[in-house]
Chain A
């Protein structure tokens, strides 16, 4: 029984998104506000943190506390916030460039650190805000002005990296599947530790081919596992369009936190006396 006090609209701000018509991120924003309503926490008890890029615009479109920081560092900022304010629900919004390229190192260590927060990466396999350059998840032969003929580089596999680095919850969703995405986000927030949700979110402007995703994604045919080896095998052998919760770990979340009680520093001062 869940006495629903909040509606999705309670988590939306009155700012109009700057996204292109048809952008998958509109759907992601809908899923987030729906998930927050279902979670039922007051908007002022939620913090949404982001870096730079189209997806990172989300904080200002919510009615929660938000932080739109610098490119690639949202996970670090969010970790500091959550450790200092464990009472808040902390969500981080990122994209494939912000999260896996400039912010790649923080991704590894956020998974390791396992601070109790939810990391949502809207993956459209392109830098959209700078108008169409290949990102770490872009196919190696994707042609662009910056890398004519393709980068020739192997695409990054975020879910496997997350799993190997210690993320405690790993899922993939498609932006167009609002119901499933909402459900997964609720579970991700409720799961202790660092939860990683990759949302395939088409960039209709620079990757019109991604409009096809709605036809190629498919729901995972298996239940989530708590065995990282099984999860890894599953993720590495699927076609990249497999959606659902793929791994639920049992690691204990990061412990250190700031408490509201302030201890006496007199003993610390006395330690310098000789």
Chain B
């Protein structure tokens, strides 16, 4: 018997939860990839506890007919393989009023916190059903349940399952099919469904990529040949992606003993003429600060990606925050001009990292990329990111035998040609000490001033172009944000537009040097500005205010992690304000 079909949806969200090892994340991944095969878009976020195994694990998935990069406020469907550690995750995944909870009646009662919201509950004996099928697994039953409810075809799922399980043998693939079919049959008997609207077939293949992988690929597109690595959550996947990827193209990744070492390894490799990168998170960035200053003073191009997490100190390693803005921009000792940029979405991790490599090389300076856990560990379905070709690479000294070489020569654009070891006549000593144009240590007033001016000017004069940020929509009310908060803010703007409220979104990719002119232009005519950021103290707001004034009618909406600021919360801020 068919369930009565609900009206097709533009977007559907579901969560699959279970004890770590139960396969909830695998189930979510299979559903997401199959959704990509039928042309849908979507995002998958893993919610895992601090335990390596045996803690809670959940796949939070949102699928939609148009590109989507952030989660919605609540979920339409929650499938619980079990309720162990439920108290730790239910706050993360509220089920919408009108939503559906599917639980195994043999795995204990559904927690009251979930049913209180006015959700329906359906039973499915996941464990018993899986046992009925030789080689069957509960998580594959869950795949079938969700697929049945959202209208995802068995063909698309089997393409994914076959590719994933083929090496385990035909019997395993067949068990997977039977489990999925059993789940689908069960879902057909439920009183409601959440069918996602089909999209026209397209010949373009979707990409399935995480923010951390996109950072890695962006580095490779930018020409990175060397990486140094010290593991840290939530940045490790950048490094794990780069290790085999670099090896496959003749590059190398070295695992360092700590971040003091990894930052110096990339400085050494870059001094040797190879574009170089490392990735870390807040605690690692703090350890790298002294040597970031060395790269600024000795003018060595490097890129450091900080996948931010909740701080201070060890904080919450698995949850997101934007609270390393201050250290990235202001943490260097002395006056050390450098560049700080932040990707605006998971897909943009690729472009922003590639851009960062280009700027580091062109400016011979450290560039810090501020990604965060919400981007880095989210996996999205996107269209293939366009190729971007940046003109202008590292200015290399080619060598003229009759001329002495001044490594830190004063030039019109502040960038001095760099000799690469092996070049005859180009020998110099790179130095963190104040130096002459030749690189010789100096404590002279004129050398200090000339070299500081030069390092400032090369960045001030650089053409950052249109990449400083994004402006979308129109209106006198502006949501002003940066980095990863762009996704939720963009969605809030869409929600408000549907209500007839025109709100403009202005989002910064370029954090330092601060794009005063471009932002001033984007804010021209704005009467109200809401500054949105995921920090406790309003670091972004104060960073803006250090450079420019904002309209008198400006408000801050900022909050620390672990819960991400969502589109609905941002929209509420605007609605409340407008009703005054």
Contact = CB atoms under 8 A, between A and B. Distances in A.
Nearest to B425: A44
Given A44-B426, A76-B264, A105-B258, A256 B294 contact: no
A272 B208 contact: yes
B221 A77 contact: no
Contacts of B252: 83-84, 256-258
Contact of A262 (B207, B208, B225, B265): B225
Given A73-B261, A273-B384, A47 B421 contact: yes
Interface string A51-87: 0000000011001111111101110111111111101
A166 B140 CA distance: 49
B205 A68 contact: no
Interface residues of B, number: 67
Interface in B213-232: 213, 217, 220-221, 225-226, 228
A272 B207 contact: yes
Interface in B1-49: 33, 36-37
Contact of A268 (B245, B254, B266, B268): B245
A268 B217 contact: yes
Nearest to A115: B254
Contacts, number: 193
Contacts of A72: 260
B273 interface: yes
A67 B441 CA distance: 12
A267 interface: yes
Nearest to A11: B427
Contact of A261 (B250, B293, B384, B429): B250
A65 B274 contact: no
A260 B252 CA distance: 12
A55 B572 CA distance: 63
A232 interface: no
A49 B256 CA distance: 18
Nearest to B274: A84
B554 interface: no
Nearest to B426: A44
A274 interface: yes
A44 B427 contact: yes
A263 B272 contact: no
B421 A85 contact: yes
A274 B257 contact: no
A113 B440 CA distance: 32
Query: Which of A113, A259, A261, A263 neighbours the largest number of chain B CB atoms within 10 Å of its CB?
Result: A263
B570 to A, nearest CB: 30
> Mostly helix, strand, loop or mixed at chain A's interface?
mixed
Contact of A44 (B205, B421, B440): B421
Query: Which of B213, B225, B271, B425 neighbours the largest number of chain A CB atoms within 10 Å of its CB?
Result: B271
Interface stretch (B64-72, B114-122, B430-438, B506-514): B430-438
A84 B276 contact: yes
Given A44-B421, A258-B252, A268-B248, A65 B427 contact: yes
B247 interface: yes
Interface of B: 33, 36-37, 205-209, 213, 217, 220-221, 225-226, 228, 245, 247-254, 256-258, 260-274, 276, 290-291, 293-294, 298, 381, 384, 419, 421-433, 439-441
Interface of A: 15, 42-45, 47-49, 59-60, 63-70, 72-74, 76-85, 87-88, 105-106, 108-109, 113, 256-265, 267-269, 272-274
Given A76-B262, A256-B253, 14 more contacts: A44-B425, A60-B441, A68-B432, A68-B441, A69-B291, A69-B294, A76-B263, A80-B264, A80-B269, A83-B269, A84-B273, A88-B422, A263-B249, A273-B384
27 contacts: A44-B422, A44-B425, A45-B421, A60-B429, A65-B419, A65-B427, A67-B431, A69-B264, A73-B260, A79-B254, A80-B226, A80-B254, A80-B272, A81-B269, A81-B271, A83-B252, A84-B270, A88-B421, A88-B422, A105-B258, A108-B257, A256-B253, A262-B250, A263-B248, A267-B248, A268-B248, A274-B37
